[in-house]
Structure 1
C-alpha cells in the first residue's frame, strides 16, 4: 500500500513538473518510459517499484529542464525526503537518475539491474518512430534547422559542445540516436531496439533521397 501511495504521489509530482514542456521531454514521454520500464523489469527480474519510481522521476532531474544538473538532482532528492521514501530506495533511485544521461556518448556503468532497466527504457524512447518525432520537436525547441549539408555530424565533442554546440535535427540521429542500440544493457531492450533502429535507418535513407531530389 505504501508503495502504491509513493507511486501515485510521484505521478502527480512528475506530471505537474512536465506540464507544458515543449522539448519532447514531456509527460507522454514519461508515461512511455514507465510502461517500458515495467515491461523490462518483468522480463529481466528487476524490482518493479524502484524501476517505476526512477522512471517517473528521471527527467525531473534532467539538466536540460533545470538551471543545472545539481539543482535538478536536489529537486528529486528533496521530494523523496519529503515523501519519507525509505533511505535505501531513495538512494537507489538517486543513483539511477544521476547516471542516466547520454551526455556526449557517456555510458557510465549502471551497478544494478534496476538502473539498467530504466536507462534502457528511456533510451528505447529515443529509437524508432516516436524518436523521429521527438527529434524534430527538440530541434524546434532549440532553434536548430532540420538539415544543413554544410554542417556535418560531430564525431568528437565534449559534454558542453554536445549540449550547446551548433547542429541540426538530422545530425542528431548520427550524433546520438543511431548509437543507442549498441549501448543498451538488457537483452529484452536489444531485441525491441532492432526493428526501431531499422525504421530510423530507412527514414534517413528516404529523407536524404528527397532532400537531394532523387525521390
Structure 2
C-alpha cells in the first residue's frame, strides 16, 4: 500500500523545485520512520503522512501559501479513500499533514503528527537545510544577504522574503526549540550547530576577515 502511494506521489511531484521535491519527501520519510519506531508510532499512519505531506506547495509569496498543508491533506484524503482506507485512519493522516506546517504554529495532539512535524523541520536544518534555503531563495530571485547588515546585528528585523540569509534568524535557528521527541531534539541540536558554524565561516568570508 505504501509503495503504491509513493509511486503516485512521485508522479505528482515530478518537476517540483528542489526544496520540496521527491528527495525531500524521501528524507522526511526516512527520518520519520526512524523516530517513529523509537517512539512507538503507528507507522502506516505516519509514513503515509510523510509521503503525502507536501503534495501541494504554493509559492512563498502567494496568498495561497497558508493553504498548502490543508490542500495537501484534502488531496491525501481523496487518494486514501479511493484505496479503501477506513475513514478514521484517513482522518488521522489528514490531521498529521494539516498540523505539520510551520506557519500554522500548531503543537500536534497525536504522536504521529508530532513525529511528522519533527521530521519535516529536521530537513530544514543542517547541510541539507542550508542547501534548501539557498535553492528556494534563488528560485524566488532573492539576494543572498543585506550588504549593510547581513546577520541582523543591528535593530533590523529579518526580512526573509527579500534576503535569503535572513531566513536563518527568522526561522531556521529557532527550530531546535520546537522539537517534540528526544531523537529529534538530539538531531536538531547537531544540525543547528553545523548551521551556526556555516554562518561563522560565511561572516569571515563576506567581511574579508583572515
Question: TM-score, normalised on structure 2?
Answer: 0.87
Q: Name segments (4+ residues, structure 1) moved above 6 Å.
A: none
Question: Which ranges in structure 1 are unaligned for 5 or more consecutive residues?
Answer: 157-161
The answer as to 2:112 corresponding to 1:114 is yes
* Deviation digits for residues 135-190 of structure 1 (CA, Å, limit 9, x no counterpart): 1111011111111134776758xxxxx8xx73222111111111100001111100
- How far 1:72 moved relative to its partner? 3.6
Q: Which has the higher contact order (CA 8 A, sep 6+)?
A: 1
C-alpha contact 2:36 2:43 (8 A) present in aligned 1? yes
- How far 1:67 moved relative to its partner? 8.6
C-alpha contact 1:136 1:169 (8 A) present in aligned 2? yes
Moved more, 51-60 or 65-74: 65-74
Aligned to 2:208, the other structure's residue is in SS state: coil
Q: Number of residue pairs matched? A: 201
- How far 1:43 moved relative to its partner? 0.9
Give the Cα separation in 2 of the matches to 1:194 and 1:71: 31
Question: TM-score, normalised on structure 1?
Answer: 0.85
Aligned to 2:161, the other structure's residue is in SS state: coil
1:136 aligned residue: 134
Question: Which ranges in structure 2 are unaligned for 5 or more consecutive residues?
Answer: none
Q: Which of 8, 15, 18 is the matching residue for 1:13?
A: 8
C-alpha contact 2:28 2:120 (8 A) present in aligned 1? yes
Aligned to 1:180, the other structure's residue is in SS state: helix
